[in-house]
Structure 1
Amino acid sequence: MSAQNQNPFEHAEYSSNPFEDSHQIQADVPLTEHAGKAEVGQEYTSYTQYGDSQSSVYQTSTPANPADDPKLAAKAAELRRREEELAAREHDIRAAQAEADRIRTQGKNNFPKFYPLIYMSIPAEIPKAHQSTVRFLYNIWLALLGTLGLNFLACMLMLISGIPNGAADMGVALGYCFTITAASFLLWYRPVYNAFMKEMSMYYYFYFIFNGFHILFSFYMALGFPSTGSAGLINMIQVFNGHHIFTGILCVFSTALWFVQGCGCLFFYRKVHQHYHQQGHTFDQAKAQVTSSAVRNQAVQNAAWSAATSGRV
């Protein structure tokens, strides 16, 4: 009977309550009682010891002050020098790249070669379909320079040979070498260059007007009226009548070059005029572009004048 009334939970195997939290029990036990065991107290202690050992390792591995070590100071100075060299080299590369970008977008002055004032490049600025035309016109302009030089030399020899009005011819021919050179480039070659580059009616009309005058001037010079600065046909006859053979030969070349100049310009004048009509340019477009350019230039001049007067005040 007593054995039946015996509590089965009083068995030694069940001496403790299985529903109690063992972690709570361990937490309630003082850390000193877990000495020598792999319990919470020991884990905390080992962690603190590990942290102390790590801090000691970091303290021992901290480098010394470079100023105290000559070798470290020399290495630091060498690194600083290399950094400065790299920075200077990078600055030079950036400056060169900026200059290259500026030249690519704006162009570097390359004409005339002995004193560059403007940028001019037929392969870079003129469409490929019209490069041959513009190049021929440029060669005609170069031939004009040679014609002016030969004409001046022939007039100078006419003066030496005693031809009447030789002094007047030589003086006018010398003036042509400067005035016609500049005027022909600015008034008809550069406009036709810009016309093919920008396809603007305004530049075509400038070319038609001034190159038309140049064609008439070339044939006029080929005739060679006395005292006009020309070693053309009439003056050539006078030279041969005076039996000045060498001077006469130069006058023959001068006369031929003036005729070639006029005929060449006339041929390309017609060719440019055909292209002008094919592109659909009109005189009204040219007037509008001239007016717009004049207004824009006037606005720029007014702004410059305002800036100058405000600076004075």
Structure 2
Amino acid sequence: MSGFDSNPFADPVDVNPFQDASVTQATSKVTENVGEFNPFSAVDMVHHSETTIPISAASSQPAVLQTSVEQSPQATAAAAQAKLIKQQEELERKAAELDRKEQDLQNRTETGRTNTGAKENNWPPLPKFFPFKPFIYQNFEEDIPEEYRRICKRMYYLWMFHSVTLFLNLLACLAYFTADTAAYGVDFGLSILWFILFTPVAFICWYRPVYKAFRSDSSFSFFFFFFVFFFQVAVYIIQTVGIPGWGNSGWISSISMIGKNLSVAVVMMVVAGFFTVNAVLGVILLKMVHSKYRRTGASFTKAQQEFSEGVLTNRSVQTAAASAATSAAQGAFGRSQGN
């Protein structure tokens, strides 16, 4: 009943949990066992060495240092220097290649020169037993820069296609002539004339000028080519149309033969297709050459200067001018003596 005799409103008795007999006994034993800990004592060192964590228990992954995304100024300078060194090596390699090509060109030039000191002609490539010899020197690899080499070769192929077309036109007009000898004799005769005349004239008047223009970057050669080749494209268009009586197997002439002779009409239509291809290729190549010409820095002023220098330095022109001046002076002196 003592529990009921206590006053519930009295102050609670302070109870110290550490004053319990069992707690006091346990803490006293721990204090005796631990004692004073000296981390530098030999026993403790041996104890800690025996309890070292084995290597296998540690992580085997290497530590990775995260690099910074932004490069330092030293790294940027080193990268720029490496880039400059690479560019310099590339330029040196190209210079060595150009020197090698120049040396090869010089060697070939020295071995290929005739007694007069000029390069040996190699076009047209005729056999040695042929009575005629090549009369023009032509070498795309040596004469034409690499950036103009392709367009220059295309102009050469256009000239060859032009020549083949004129020859086929001659055969078509021959078939045209056999269908009616009385009416189409003029066309056959003119087709022979066009083949004989326009094949060499095209080579001399527009192919060689464009070859010289790309070889020596000549403004005068460019302007001469544009002037002549523009008319050549116009001739291609006329030949494609095929006006009767003009010696061209164009579309009008070939279509007019369908009702008379179908086989001849088919042959003439094939030639008309060739003329059409010539006209289309002529327009395309004219634009391509003009685009290349604008990059060379050529101008009409340079063309005039080149023409005047060429005329003044030409020996034939100088001789003719000197002869004319001498004749004029002698005539004037004779008239003065007569008076």
TM (norm. structure 1) is 0.62
The alignment partner of 1:287 has SS state of helix
Are residues 1:102 and 2:113 paired? yes
Tell me how far 1:165 sits from its aligned partner.
3.5
Question: Could you tell me whether the CA contact under 8 Å between 1:109 and 1:118 is conserved in 2?
Answer: yes
Which position in structure 2 is the counterpart of 1:279?
296
Tell me how far 1:231 sits from its aligned partner.
0.6
Are residues 1:123 and 2:141 paired? yes
RMSD: 2.5
Determine the C-alpha separation between the residues in 1 that align with 2:219 and 2:109: 34
Determine the C-alpha separation between the residues in 1 that align with 2:322 and 2:231: 36
Determine the C-alpha separation between the residues in 2 that align with 1:98 and 1:193: 19
- Residue 146 of structure 1 aligns to which amino acid in structure 2? V
Determine the C-alpha separation between the residues in 2 that align with 1:213 and 1:181: 15
Tell me how far 1:113 sits from its aligned partner.
2.4
Question: Could you tell me whether the CA contact under 8 Å between 2:191 and 2:247 is conserved in 1?
Answer: yes
Q: 1:299 to 1:227 in 2, by over 3 A?
A: closer
Tell me how far 1:291 sits from its aligned partner.
1.3
Which position in structure 1 is the counterpart of 2:236?
218
Q: 1:163 to 1:231 in 2, by over 3 A?
A: farther
Which position in structure 2 is the counterpart of 1:38?
none
TM (norm. structure 2) is 0.58
Tell me how far 1:107 sits from its aligned partner.
2.3
Which position in structure 1 is the counterpart of 2:214?
196
The alignment partner of 1:240 has SS state of coil
Q: 1:257 to 1:187 in 2, by over 3 A?
A: same
Q: Determine which of 228, 239, 243 is the counterpart of 2:257.
A: 239
Runs (4+) off by over 4 Å: 298-301, 303-306
Question: Could you tell me whether the CA contact under 8 Å between 1:165 and 1:226 is conserved in 2?
Answer: no
Tell me how far 1:224 sits from its aligned partner.
0.6
Answer with 221-230 or 270-279: which moved more. 270-279
The alignment partner of 1:215 has SS state of helix
Q: Determine which of 145, 162, 172 is the counterpart of 2:180.
A: 162
Which position in structure 2 is the counterpart of 1:265?
282
- Residue 169 of structure 1 aligns to which amino acid in structure 2? D
Report which of the two has the higher share of helix: 1
- May I ask how many residue pairs the two structures share in their alignment? 210
Unaligned runs of 5+ in 1: 1-96, 307-313
Q: Deviations over 1:171-227 (max 9, x none)?
A: 000001111011111110000000000001000001101010000000100111011
Are residues 1:295 and 2:295 paired? no
The alignment partner of 2:138 has SS state of coil
Answer with 111-120 or 135-144: which moved more. 111-120
Tell me how far 1:253 sits from its aligned partner.
1.3
Question: Could you tell me whether the CA contact under 8 Å between 1:163 and 1:239 is conserved in 2?
Answer: no
Q: Determine which of 111, 126, 131 is the counterpart of 2:123.
A: 111
Determine the C-alpha separation between the residues in 2 that align with 1:101 and 1:186: 24
